[in-house]
Structure 1
Amino acid sequence: MTGIVREHWGTLANGDAVEAVVLRTHKLEMRVLTLGALVQSLRVPDRNGTLADIVLGHDAPQAYLDKRQFFGAAIGRFSNRLDGAAFVLDGKRHSIESNDGDNVLHGGPEGFDRKLWRIDQVEEGAEPAVTLSLVSPDGDQGFPGTLHASVTYRLAGESEVSITFEATSDQPTVVGLTHHGYFNLGGVEALAPATSHVLQVEATHFLPVGANLIPHGGPEPLVGTPFDFGEAKPIERDLRRANAQLLHARGYDHCFCLSDAPQAEPRLAATLQDPRSGRVLQLLTDQPGLQVYSGNMLDGSTVGKYNQIIRPGDAVCLEPQAWPDAPNRHDFPSARLDPGAAYRHRSVYRFSAR
């Protein structure tokens, strides 16, 4: 069955209702929630045509709020980290609510992943889609300007998920949105480590970080380091290699530098393959950075979908985004958004099987 189903998906502890929109084609099925504009499930065929759900998540909406892990969520206003929970824009210092020690992570304590978004539009047809929107008022978490944000999820082509973020502001501000999907291409119905997946990243440099996971310098070459995914290799191959960067993050949680500015159109950024199922994910994006996270902080204390305990390395995040701490780094690609301008971020997740 193809098309769109819109349904009630549960109620939060405060009584707010959460809706779901299920998009289906002949090959893919995706459920998107109004909570966090998050992808709750994504079913993709393996080499034998068998569908499996390949993203971590929960079976009830309140679980996403009770323990914040960003499963499948839209992240904003600024994804990744801001050093010192502040930035200066046009000579004015803006203090943001910290939630990561002295820093800000993924938009602050009440980021976009914890908001109820509005369903603006659903599109039937061969390429079903849903658009959700959110208004973030001036001063939300400390960010300046009233921001009107939207995200469109579309099932396109043979087996593609297209995600398009857009935003405008009535004051100068900073914006860096992303999708925080946790992928296990083997299927999350019966979890096995995703660190056995084979990864290739189309980058030659990455951003080293300090102990607080804030970039402490400029881009450095990948060659000769555990971060060199220029040729495809299992994620686990160098994961235990003695390296200060891996110690800081307990694994991979670093920005790979794809370009020095957003691009006009998405281009190939990474390829992830699960040898067991044959599922392949090619990620194309117009963003300048790709955060690669090997699920290091998944500590076995969460029960996800299908009654599965989620452990370290059970999923991999590939997050297209601005470079971390960009509002504080004038040598990084700009994250500034001015009135009259439009922020746009498009990424394509292309699936196949080998």
Structure 2
Amino acid sequence: MNIQTKEILSSWKEFTLTNDKQMSVSVLNYGGIITKILVPDRNGVLENVALGMKEYQDYEANPPFLGALIGRVAGRIQGSSFELNGEKYNLEANDGENHLHGGSEGFHQVIWEVTPFQTGGTVGLTLTHKSADGEGGYPGNVEVTVTYTLNNENQLSLAYEATSDQTTALTLTNHCYFNLSGDLKNTVEDHHVTIDSRQFVELDENLIPTGSKLQVEGTSFDFRQGRRLGDGFNGEFEQNKIAGNGYDHYFIFDHSTTQQAIVREPNSGRVMSVKTNQPGMVMYSGNSLDDQMQLAEAKSQKYLGVCFETQASPASLHHEGFPDVRLNAGEKYEKETVFTFGVE
């Protein structure tokens, strides 16, 4: 196992974690961005399964948030405002009238303090950041630690911890786009996905939660027994059409199985499982990716990657009955998501 460090730009560094099976994960201190994940296919061929920019400087704009840590609140906040304890907080409107992924001062834009570590069976990175009271419009001084750990079972763990000195809104995630075909050989249309979820959150035409939860049964959102992602790309279901003929929806986990999601790619034989103590996730199927970005292996295109953004729901700021993003003063935020890579 080893950790390599590469100087990129003036203050940017890329850290590459490699285990004994030659799986590797590369991460920038800028935005905590995962730039590359190399894992073997069924024939042992190592290929990249994460979308990354060809040129590092393109991460500075990074409109699709490729690989980045997202905070303070992952997802869209309706009307770019919310109330806590009777006080209204106004945020930057960076997605039409709404606030998306923490705004331009979000965690995807900061230089994180990074400390590499190695134990008997793991290599990893501890990323820390202090977000000042009022930053991005959010209340509270927030201290955040995110730990990336790679072990010899080809498991990548992302552990999130945070505390605030005032009650605030916070739910963190990583916005990695996965493509298990390897080196972007195909879109994710034939990826076979299983999700432990009976309910998802209905969206309006601006991709804002309506306040309703819908049953997956009988729809292209029923992934309980597994289905092709492409089922929702070309179908007639209104919720797929709203999202640009795909998925950009929050699934509420039943937590009835060991893994919350499993992804299979038939050609390469790669399998990725997602296990988390988060209450749900946004699955985003890259509906807005276009051919304007040059990625490491190819030009970007629609459906070239799929995100599994494990998190609570920003809908909880405006509607009852959704997984809550409120973090009370002095309370500890502790969440973990583990991505396990294998073959079949």
TM-score of the pair, normalised by structure 2: 0.96
Which residue number in structure 2 is paired with residue 220 of structure 1? 214
Which residue number in structure 2 is paired with residue 271 of structure 1? 262
1:133 to 128, 137, 155: 128
Kindly provide the CA deviation profile for residues 251-293 of structure 1, in whole angstroms up to 9, marking residues without a partner as x.
111011115xxx8xx9411110100000000000111111111
Q: CA deviation at 1:114?
A: 1.0
Q: For the Cα contact (< 8 Å) 1:267–1:285, is it kept in 2? A: no
Q: For the Cα contact (< 8 Å) 2:54–2:294, is it kept in 1? A: no
Structure 1 segments unaligned to the other structure (5+ residues)? none
Name the CA distance, whole Å, in 2 between partners of 1:110 and 1:187. 33
Which residue number in structure 1 is paired with residue 18 of structure 2? 24
Counterpart of 2:273, as a letter, is Q
Name the CA distance, whole Å, in 2 between partners of 1:335 and 1:309. 35
Which residue number in structure 1 is paired with residue 187 of structure 2? 193
Q: CA deviation at 1:39?
A: 0.8
Counterpart of 1:340, as a letter, is G
The 3-state SS of whatever aligns with 2:209 is: coil
Counterpart of 2:322, as a letter, is F
Which residue number in structure 2 is paired with residue 255 of structure 1? 250
Counterpart of 1:326, as a letter, is S
Which residue number in structure 1 is paired with residue 139 of structure 2? 144
The 3-state SS of whatever aligns with 1:310 is: coil
Which residue number in structure 1 is paired with residue 5 of structure 2? 6
Q: For the Cα contact (< 8 Å) 2:199–2:251, is it kept in 1? A: yes
Counterpart of 1:328, as a letter, is H
Superposition pairs of residues 20-99 of structure 1, within 5 angstroms? 20-27=14-21, 28-99=23-94
Q: CA deviation at 1:218?
A: 2.5
Q: For the Cα contact (< 8 Å) 1:98–1:109, is it kept in 2? A: no
2:231 to 233, 237, 240: 237
Counterpart of 1:197, as a letter, is H
1:288 aligns with 2:279: yes
Name the CA distance, whole Å, in 1 between partners of 2:90 and 2:31. 23
Which residue number in structure 2 is paired with residue 111 of structure 1? 106
Q: CA deviation at 1:238?
A: 3.5
Name the CA distance, whole Å, in 2 between partners of 1:157 and 1:173. 37
The 3-state SS of whatever aligns with 1:207 is: strand
Name the CA distance, whole Å, in 2 between partners of 1:178 and 1:66. 19
Name the CA distance, whole Å, in 2 between partners of 1:238 and 1:97. 32
Q: For the Cα contact (< 8 Å) 2:252–2:280, is it kept in 1? A: yes
Name the CA distance, whole Å, in 2 between partners of 1:353 and 1:333. 33
Q: For the Cα contact (< 8 Å) 2:19–2:152, is it kept in 1? A: no
The 3-state SS of whatever aligns with 2:288 is: coil
CA change 1:76–1:267 in 2 (3 A) is farther
TM-score of the pair, normalised by structure 1: 0.93
The 3-state SS of whatever aligns with 2:130 is: strand
Counterpart of 1:34, as a letter, is N
Name the CA distance, whole Å, in 2 between partners of 1:243 and 1:109. 33
The 3-state SS of whatever aligns with 2:203 is: coil
Q: For the Cα contact (< 8 Å) 1:131–1:150, is it kept in 2? A: yes
Kindly provide the CA deviation profile for residues 92-138 of structure 1, in whole angstroms up to 9, marking residues without a partner as x.
00001110111011111221111111113423442111101111111
Q: CA deviation at 1:172?
A: 0.9
Q: CA deviation at 1:196?
A: 1.0
Name the CA distance, whole Å, in 2 between partners of 1:71 and 1:314. 12
CA RMSD of aligned residues (A): 1.5
Q: For the Cα contact (< 8 Å) 2:211–2:315, is it kept in 1? A: no
Q: Percent identity?
A: 35
1:120 to 115, 120, 123: 115
Which residue number in structure 2 is paired with residue 173 of structure 1? 168
Q: CA deviation at 1:195?
A: 1.5
Name the CA distance, whole Å, in 2 between partners of 1:123 and 1:213. 42
Q: CA deviation at 1:295?
A: 0.6
Name the CA distance, whole Å, in 1 between partners of 2:330 and 2:159. 19
The 3-state SS of whatever aligns with 1:290 is: strand
Name the CA distance, whole Å, in 2 between partners of 1:158 and 1:247. 39
Q: For the Cα contact (< 8 Å) 1:209–1:254, is it kept in 2? A: yes
The 3-state SS of whatever aligns with 1:229 is: coil
Q: For the Cα contact (< 8 Å) 1:214–1:324, is it kept in 2? A: no
Counterpart of 2:180, as a letter, is L
Kindly provide the CA deviation profile for residues 190-229 of structure 1, in whole angstroms up to 9, marking residues without a partner as x.
4311111111111011111001111102321101111111
Name the CA distance, whole Å, in 2 between partners of 1:201 and 1:71. 22
Counterpart of 1:348, as a letter, is V
Superposition pairs of residues 292-331 of structure 1, within 5 angstroms? 292-306=283-297, 308-331=298-321
Structure 2 segments unaligned to the other structure (5+ residues)? none
Q: Which moved more, 1:41-50 or 1:235-244?
A: 235-244
